[in-house]
Amino acid sequence: MAGTAGTPGTPRVLRAMNDRAALDLLLEHGPLSRTRIGKLTGLSKPTASQLLARLEAAGLVRVTGTSEGRPGPNAQLYAVNPAAAYAAGLDVTPHRIRAAVADVTGRTVGEFELPTPGRRPAHPVVRQVTDALDGAVKAAGLARDDVHRLVIGTPGAFDPGTGRLRYASHLPGWHSPALLDELAAALPMPVEYENDVNLVAVAEQRLGAARGHADFVLLWNQEGMGAALVLGGRLHRGWTGGAGEVGFLPVPGTPLVRQVTKANSGGYQELAGSQAVPKLARELGIEDVPSGPYTEAAAELLARAADHAGGPHRELLRTYATRLATGLASLVSVLDPELVVLSGSALTAGGEVLRALVQAELEELAAARPRLVVGDVREHPVLRGALESALAATRDEVFDTSR
């Protein structure tokens, strides 16, 4: 019968639950013996043996060696088969698309970066996406059809009602109402789309500073300002996907910005965005302000300031901390999160010194008292979050042995 496989309490479902528990333990701990798996799952030796034989026959686990250094015969060690499935992620900005493929264990096996300079794309977005994905797939020695799921991270968010990208007018070529259908037709695997800052929060929740926290805010400041809101362990996206677009937040200390979507900026962005840091440094009399992209200049200035005990560099850090806390006070007053994670190059560059200053200012400006931490996932956090999101869905599908 069609419903038998999913009926709670049936032997097939119970076996599938044990299978998934064992696979999750192998992902967490690495290679384990049959005896160790039995102890960790509470299964008897015969049941653990049957489970491993079943998973090995399904191609989900493999023998990787034997245990050594213990009395008695060496025991076989089992691990998740990396080739059981692959997932991919894309990190899209106006300047480039960064792509990566990971095996089901989470190990990155292929990466590729496709430059996308200019306000008028040389190629349609669908071709950009497929070229970036194919580059990572080729680097992994795979074919496009080997990828089970793809997660694409972009600035802004796709409106669930219209399918159009909102809050990201600076991303050329991505605003066609037919784009999602065109991508679905061009790609053989299921595709999900997520806001880039939300994906950073996914990375921090699974791998970084927010592990074990069900309620937290992640504040991101790099090319633009944004926030991710995790409530009850789940991302809060809002009605149109725009929850967390805090760069548009009106704040004291800067003139009101009207027509914010056309300006692609707002009060908090103008007050505390990366582009404000070089300007503030010049106002404070700092002469050696770096040239070049403002995101890189801001990170360099804040890193330098964190190493100075006083003078205009330390004043830069104090003033910037006050600006950051001004917007954060509104967020924490409404959301009352357990934790605030500071991420993005403009915030991580200031390190612990900037964090402590923002924490002190926030305690003066808001009634809520969340703990502030600096994010741990520093290398390609949007892409890492995309991979983690794609892997979670892939594992739910591939590791389900009840079907």
DSSP string, 174-210: ---TTHHHHHHHH-SS-EEEEEHHHHHHHHHHHHSTT
Write the pLDDT tens digit of every residue in 265-292.
Answer: 899 999 999 999 999 999 999 988 998 8
Q: Tokens 């990155």, residue? A: 108
Taking only the tens place, the pLDDT of each residue in 227-277 is 999 999 999 999 999 999 999 999 999 988 888 877 778 999 999 999 999
- pLDDT of res. 2: 39
Other Cβ atoms closer than 10 A to 115 = 10
Lookup result for tokens 């060690």: 77
| Residues across the chain | 403
- SS3 of residue 76 by DSSP: strand
- Residue by residue, pLDDT tens for the chain (403 residues) are 334 445 555 788 889 999 999 999 999 999 999 999 999 999 999 999 999 999 999 999 999 988 765 555 678 999 999 999 999 999 999 999 999 999 999 999 999 999 998 767 667 999 999 999 999 999 999 999 999 999 999 999 999 889 999 998 889 999 999 999 999 999 999 999 999 999 999 999 999 999 999 999 999 999 899 999 999 999 999 999 999 999 999 999 998 888 887 777 899 999 999 999 999 999 999 988 998 899 999 999 999 999 987 889 999 999 999 999 999 999 999 999 999 999 999 999 999 999 999 999 999 999 999 999 999 999 999 999 999 999 999 999 999 998 7
Q: Supply the pTM of this predicted model.
A: 0.92
Beta carbons of 76 and 66 less than 8 angstroms apart:
yes
Query: Which residues on adjacent β-strands are paired with residue 151?
Result: 89, 192
Angstrom distance (rounded) from CA 187 to CA 206 = 27
Per-residue model confidence (pLDDT) at position 235: 96
Tokens of 80: 């998740």
Q: Report how far residue 72's alpha carbon sits from residue 369's, in angstroms, rounded to the nearest whole number.
A: 56
Q: How far apart are CA 47 and CA 42, in angstroms?
A: 10
Q: Is the dihedral of CA 258, 264, 269, 273 positive or negative?
A: negative
Distance, in Å, from the CA atom of 139 to the CA atom of 141, rounded to the nearest integer, reads: 5
CA gap 28, 66 in Å, rounded: 19
- Long-range contacts, stretch 100-105, CB < 8 angstroms, 24+ apart: 100/136, 100/380, 100/383, 100/386, 100/387, 101/136, 101/137, 101/139, 101/140, 101/142, 101/147, 102/387, 102/390, 102/391, 104/80, 104/391, 104/394, 104/395, 104/398, 105/27, 105/79, 105/80
pLDDT score at 149: 98
